[in-house]
Amino acid sequence: VWIVDNLEDLSSSYPQIAQAAAQLRENEVVAFPTETVYGLGANAKSDEAVGKIYEAKGRPSDNPLIVHIASIKQLHEVAAHVPVYVDKLIEALWPGPITFVLPKKAGLSDRVTAGLDTVAVRMPDHPLALALIKEANLPVAAPSANLSGKPSPTRASHVFDDLNGRIAGIVDGGSTGVGVESTVLDCTQQIPVILRPGGVTKEQLQALIGEVTVDQALTDETQAPKSPGMKYTHYAPAAQMTIVDGTPSFLQGLISEAKSEGKKVGVLSAKETAGNYEADVVFSCGSRANMHTVASELYDVLRAFNETDVDCIFSESFSSAGVGQAVMNRLMKAAGHRLIKE
Ligand code: TXA
Ligand code: MG
């Protein structure tokens, strides 16, 4: 039995993985940490249990869930066919922040796959998540443990803020590391397609297996995304956010203009440039020197703006290389694709 060693008050009633696993087996929903974001888990074989996930999150029922597993044996219990290139990726990247979309096998609740003939599967790289799945001895369906539309939770307190009273419990593992969700890779064709950029980068995938394509909808807003979840607005703070691609002095010009209209202004900035801005609130979000730190802090900062009274938020723009692709994808969604170029 795992003892959760990072206890905050809210989780003191959930010290043991054994208890959380028992609740999963009783078709209750339990939040747990992964290396990316917190997940909201339920027995993937039970319609009743999976129904509770959609209900707790207020999630549209046409948006399928990722099935979390703790062994390769479980992969073959849920997927009907695993291409050779996926074996290679699994060897190098699992447990880790990548989800494979594969032809599904019978046995899972239809509500997990939202009526599709494919299933999304991932083995998370977190000792508590793996222990919970093993102890429950079930495939565990788990979306991010936020209310639908909010940023994904990277701390147990985020889960508590969104879902207290709506779920059976939270396993508190402290802050998650990666900070953005897993990469979702469609592996139903000869050449895999990135449906959602995430913790594993396109560059990593290309180095391992050669050709990888990216769903056109990720770069062209007019296209319908191939992943049902990618069409929904997400992550948006209450105040209107705009991404600014330009110098700090250009961004300061926009701040001053908004202030002259009587607005309270927030800024999301890299640590390196945060000192350049005179605004009502300036939150720094990681360092440009290491984009992993930006990814790791992003959702906490987006949530923190809701604790302030700013009317609008300007965010610096970041490089789309490596994990920056996931960061910019989430920032653009949070901004409703509002982008100002210098
Ligand atoms: O890092 C993560 O992936 C986190 C942690 C908890 O593992 N989970 C997560 O789940 O982000 P969720 O439900 O918030 O996002 C799952 C995404 C959605 O965009 C959904 O549409 C897509 O995966 N998806 C799930 N099944 C799919 C399928 N069969 N075909 C295409 N897309 C699928
Ligand atoms: Mg989500």
**What average pLDDT does this structure show over 56-66?**
94
**What average pLDDT does this structure show over 130-153?**
95
pLDDT band for position 65 (50/70/90)? very high
Say how many C-beta atoms besides its own lie within 10 A of residue 160's C-beta: 20
The pLDDT, as a whole number, for residue 320 is 95
330 is in an annotated binding site: no
**Pocket residues: Cβ below 6 A from ligand 1:** 34, 36-37, 39, 63-66, 97, 99, 101, 113, 116, 118-120, 122, 124, 142-144, 181-182, 184, 195-196, 227-230
The pLDDT, as a whole number, for residue 240 is 95
Q: Tally the C-alpha atoms within 13 A of residue 129's C-alpha that lie toward its C-beta.
A: 30
pLDDT band for position 17 (50/70/90)? confident
Q: For Cα atoms 64, 206, 194, give the angle at the middle one, nearest 5 degrees.
A: 20
Atom 17, ligand 1: residue with shortest CA distance: 229
Segment 245-304, tens digit of pLDDT: 999 999 999 999 999 999 999 999 999 999 999 999 999 999 999 999 999 999 999 999
pLDDT band for position 6 (50/70/90)? very low
- Inform me whether the pLDDT recorded for 221 exceeds 90: no
Query: Among positive and negative, which fits the CA dihedral 276, 234, 123, 1?
Result: positive
The pLDDT, as a whole number, for residue 4 is 44
* % residues pLDDT > 90 (the chain): 85
**What average pLDDT does this structure show over 176-183?**
97
**What average pLDDT does this structure show over 330-340?**
94
- Inform me whether the pLDDT recorded for 321 exceeds 70: yes
The pLDDT, as a whole number, for residue 233 is 67
pLDDT band for position 13 (50/70/90)? very low
176 CA from centroid of ligand 2 (Å): 15
- Inform me whether the pLDDT recorded for 9 exceeds 60: no
The pLDDT, as a whole number, for residue 141 is 98
Rounded to two decimals, the ipTM of the complex is 0.99
144, 167, 218, 329: residue to mutate for ligand 1 pocket, most atoms within 8 A of CB = 144
Chain position carrying tokens 């032809």: 103
- Inform me whether the pLDDT recorded for 93 exceeds 90: yes
The pLDDT, as a whole number, for residue 10 is 35
* % residues pLDDT > 70 (the chain): 95
54 is in an annotated binding site: no
The pLDDT, as a whole number, for residue 257 is 98
Token pair recorded at residue 118: 């494919």
Q: What is the CA radius of gyration of the chain?
A: 20
- How many helices (H) and strands (E) in the chain? 11, 15
Residue type at position 171: V
- Inform me whether the pLDDT recorded for 11 exceeds 60: no
CB contact set of 159 (below 8 Å; sequence gap of 6+): 31, 38, 40, 145, 146, 153, 170
Are the beta carbons of 41 and 141 closer than 8 angstroms? yes
Q: Decide: residue 289, CB within 10 A, 0-12 exposed, 13-18 middle, 19+ buried.
A: exposed
- Inform me whether the pLDDT recorded for 5 exceeds 50: no
The pLDDT, as a whole number, for residue 63 is 92
Query: Across all residues in the chain, what is the average pLDDT?
Result: 93
- Inform me whether the pLDDT recorded for 204 exceeds 80: yes
143 CA from centroid of ligand 2 (Å): 6
pTM of the shown model? 0.94
What is the helix (H) or strand (E) element at residue 13, kind and residue range? Answer: none
pLDDT band for position 27 (50/70/90)? very high
